[in-house]
Structure 1
Amino acid sequence: MRFTSLLALGLAGLALAKDGTTTETTETNTNTDLSSTITGSSTSYNWSDASTITNASAQVPTGSYLTYTSVITLGNGDHKTVVSSSLNASATATGNQTLLHTSTSDSVTVLVGGGGTTTLGNNSMNATHTHSSTSSIPTETNTTPCNGYSEFCLRNYSNITNVAAHNSPFVVPGNAASNQALKVTDQLNDGIRMLQFQAHNKSGEIHLCHSSCDMLDAGTLESYLAQVYQWMIKNPYNVVTFVMGNSDNLPPTAFVDSIEKSGLKNIIYSPPKAPMALDDWPTLSEMILSNKRAVFFMDYGANETAVPYIMDEFSQLWETPFSPTDRDFPCTVQRPPGLNHKDATNRMYMINHNLNLELNFGSISLLIPNTAYMVDTNSANETLYGSLGNMSAKCSEMWDRPPNFLLVDYYNWGKPNGSVFEVAAKANNVTWNGNCCGSTSAAAHMAVASVSTMVLIAAGVQFLLAAF
């Protein structure tokens, strides 16, 4: 049996509970000594005590970073609509949802806010960045939410903080390589608006796998995207972002077939130029009412002249340190490397707040969620060390604006469950409704397989390592 296959079986039998101990869910062996230690090339790990696993430096994915010396105009781009200050007097009511007085420009109808004042532009938290035009037409309160909040309708896509599911498809109960507890439809229902994942080439087909398809294979990209498309069709007032990890450095054209067959090509957003600066992005209402609501980024290997709608991530979005094992969660730029402060302030940014443990098995290194701290990691408490609330507030102050994306593991864990959405709401200056999460408890999804199986695999890995 290949080493990676054996390791995959071991991962299927291992998860670390919140208190750092293992939990038994199937057959048991009460005489088994769980203190057995597996020795890797340089570090020893005690499977029964999460605190003995070394927080090593995570390996950052590498690839070529695109540098644009000038802005490129892309064909068939969805150009940003310039909203006219002259409002139409029409309003459309559908059930208990009311579309407000609308403004039409370039054949795109735009949702307009309520009250006697119509706010145009970014509608950001800082009033100095907004401008208003007063209409004499009586208006009604906007009850049609965009991405869950009516306040977002007139904000630019680049001026909203979204919760992002790290490795969204990796939902396998009892597998320590999983990063989420709830399926993608539950994620979207709960309010996740960015879906991040790793894509791998498996026998000529793109699969979603964690590090290796031998460890965790969540199925095909097409099948996953098809589920998202069906949800988006049923929820037409939502914009969803995808960040694809191009793990095998495939050409972007290799992803086109999966995207188009999933149905998402029908509603995909294609930028008018590359790169898109912070103020170039359209408002959510423009994207929604033009039905261009699926936004795709790729970390490495994008070619926007070949496939305009698969955007290069790092020329339009920067990230804090990748898959951190440090609870301090620095707000500094890691990717793309060498980005100067001026350029960083002119593009969106994502904070990586998925705390990890790095496990080393001989030549194989694997990052898994550090569930021992998960509740605190996802907490909205801004004074709590290592919490999402603390990092969001710290980064907002450092960069003078909130992050655009909050990348987290097991988003449904927290204080209370789903507290990551409370953090996003505060960054957006709106009020979270407190509704979360999914239909299944996190504990049920994070329960592990039998202890006896775990120890058996541990013994097998120990044997193989000793043979190297």
Structure 2
Amino acid sequence: MLDMYDFNNDIWLCHSFRGQCFNFTAFQPAINTLKEVESFLSQNPTEIVTIIIEDYVHTPKGLINLFTSAGLDKYWFPVTKMPKKGEDWPTVTEMVQSNYRLLVFTSIASKESEEGIAYQWRYMVENEAGDPGVKQGSCPNRKESQPLNSKKASLFLQNYFPTYPVEDDACKEHSTPLAEMAGTCYKAAGNVMPNFLAVNFYMRSDGGGVFDILDKMNGQTLCGCNTVQACQAGAPFGSCKNVAVPRSPPTNNMGSFTGSVQFSSSASIVHCPNCLLFKLFYFSLMVFLLLLR
């Protein structure tokens, strides 16, 4: 998740306001971070990265030229091949074989036709960010987003971080409250697990934490088990190995999901040593994690 602006006759990463980047809010030229992404993809040929741009770039063809200059065009997932009406995406294996390992989304609709960059809200639903996204028992969609249970978009991003992040509070946030909110948003989305989970201070927790919850969510989606390690290659959905479940807070209610989990064809990839596919390159305090579907 990257905020990009026109700044100093270039395109910069900048966390700013009113659509304008300032010296005191600018981070660095975007090309620097994108070259890190290119290096990561080059060195990890089975990994997939998604970049979602909060887009304030008005330079004509500015973004597509930027990604090409960073050497990322060779990994680009073509917008013409993206499912437009909520259909399944290709499997992870198919994406790797085609080398379509970079998905890029913009917040400006016109850039889909002008630059071939996918318009985020055509493909993705998202709950409210900030304080509304951490209010227990409620998982409202962002105003830009279709309803979370819409069948017209096939990707789901769950936000879970307060408006004003406090590192010391993250230990509590990433334990039972995050597990409970995962269940709430699952139900709000029509019994569909998110593909992405956005949090602050992902390494901090009082219990199993973000990675434990991701493991459980991936297990539910991939094979109907309470952990990815319980999935068995070639076994029917819901056939689980007897494995030790990672330690979680005692009141964790991640097991309270009811009904069948909706999953796309990529769930057929049961041998999944890296179901947590990536940590997104992000210049702020948030990490953005992909859940396999």
The TM-score normalised by the length of structure 1 is 0.43
User: Paired residue for 1:312?
Assistant: 119
After superposition, give the CA deviation of every residue in 1:350-399 in whole Å (9 maximum; x if it has no partner).
Answer: 11112122xxxxxxxxxxx23342112222xxxx3xx2222112111232
Aligned to 1:389: 179
SS in 1 for 2:134: coil
Displacement of 1:278 in angstroms is: 3.0
Question: CA, structure 1 residues 251+281, in 2 after alignment: closer, same or farther (shift >3 Å)?
Answer: farther
| The one of 42, 46, 54 aligned to 1:237 | 46
Of 185, 196, 213, the residue aligned with 1:423 is 213
CA contact (8 A) 1:298 1:312 kept: yes
Q: Which residue of 1 aligns with 2:169?
A: 373
SS in 2 for 1:412: coil
Q: Which has the higher contact order (CA 8 A, sep 6+)?
A: 1
Q: How far apart are residue 265 of structure 1 and its match?
A: 0.8
CA distance in 2, matches of 1:252, 1:285: 35
Q: Distance in 1 between matches of 2:82 and 2:58?
A: 20
SS at match of 2:125: strand
Cα offset, 1:300, TM superposition: 2.5
- Specify the SS of the correspondent of 1:232: helix
- How many Å apart are 1:336 and its aligned residue? 2.3
Q: How does 1:101-250 map to 2 (within 5 A)?
A: 196-211=1-16, 212-246=21-55, 248=56, 250=58
Is the 2:84–2:152 Cα contact (8 Å) retained in structure 1? no
Structure 1 pair 413/351, CA: closer, same or farther in 2 (3 Å)? same
Alignment-derived partner of residue 410 in structure 1: 201
Distance 1:290 1:205, change over 3 A: same
Summarize the Cα distance change of 1:400–1:407 in structure 2 as closer, same or farther, 3 Å threshold.
Answer: same
CA contact (8 A) 1:302 1:311 kept: no
After superposition, what is the alpha-carbon deviation per residue over 1:105-157, rounded to whole angstroms, capped at 9, x for unaligned? xxxxxxxxxxxxxxxxxxxxxxxxxxxxxxxxxxxxxxxxxxxxxxxxxxxxx
Match of residue 150 from structure 2: 343
Q: Which has the larger radius of gyration?
A: 1
The 3-state SS of whatever aligns with 1:349 is: strand
**Who is 1:255 aligned against?**
63
Q: Does 1:353 align with 2:149?
A: no
The residue identity in structure 2 corresponding to 1:393 is: G
The structure-2 alpha-carbon separation of the partners of 1:371 and 1:233, relative to structure 1 and needing over 3 Å to count, comes to same
Distance in 1 between residues matched to 2:41 and 2:147, nearest whole Å = 37
- Deviation per CA, 1:396-442, whole angstroms, max 9, x where unpaired? 1232111111111122222358x212222211111499999xxxxxx
**1:210, CA displacement in angstroms?**
1.5
Q: What's the offset of the Cα at 1:273?
A: 5.1
Asked if the contact 1:251/1:301 (under 8 Å) is kept, the reply is no
Give the residue type in structure 2 aligned to 1:296: V
- Alpha carbons of 1:271 and 1:301: their partners in 2 closer, same or farther (altered >3 Å)? closer
Deviations 1:158-213 (A, max 9, x none): xxxxxxxxxxxxxxxxxxxxxxxxxxxxxxxxxxxxxx111111122111111144
Deviations 1:88-109 (A, max 9, x none): xxxxxxxxxxxxxxxxxxxxxx
Match of 1:401 in 2: 192
State how 1:440-455 maps to structure 2 within 5 Å. Answer: none
Deviation at residue 259 of structure 1 after TM alignment: 0.6
Distance 1:265 1:351 in 2: 28
- d(CA) in 2 for partners of 1:231, 1:317: 25
Matched residue of 2:104: which SS? strand
**Aligned-partner Cα distance in 2 for 1:197–1:292:** 20
DSSP 3-state at the match of 1:215: coil
Residue segments in structure 1 that go unaligned for 5+ positions in a row: 1-195, 358-368, 437-444, 446-468
CA distance in 2, matches of 1:420, 1:302: 35
Aligned-partner residue type, residue 271 of structure 1: V
Is 1:288 the equivalent of 2:96? yes
TM-score (norm 2): 0.67
Q: In the aligned structure 2, how far is the partner of 1:251 from the partner of 1:423? A: 41
Q: Does the CA-based 8 Å contact 1:249-1:300 persist in structure 2?
A: no
Q: For 1:267 and 1:400, how far apart are their aligned partners in 2?
A: 32
Measured in 2, the distance between the counterparts of 1:256 and 1:240 equals: 17
Cα distance in 1 between the residues matched to 2:126 and 2:54: 13
How many residues align? The count is 221
Aligned to 1:264: 72
List structure 1 runs of 4+ shifted beyond 4 angstroms.
Answer: 432-436
Amino acid at match of 1:239: I
Aligned mates of 1:208, 1:396 — CA distance in 2: 32
Please state whether the residue corresponding to 1:414 is helix, strand or coil: coil
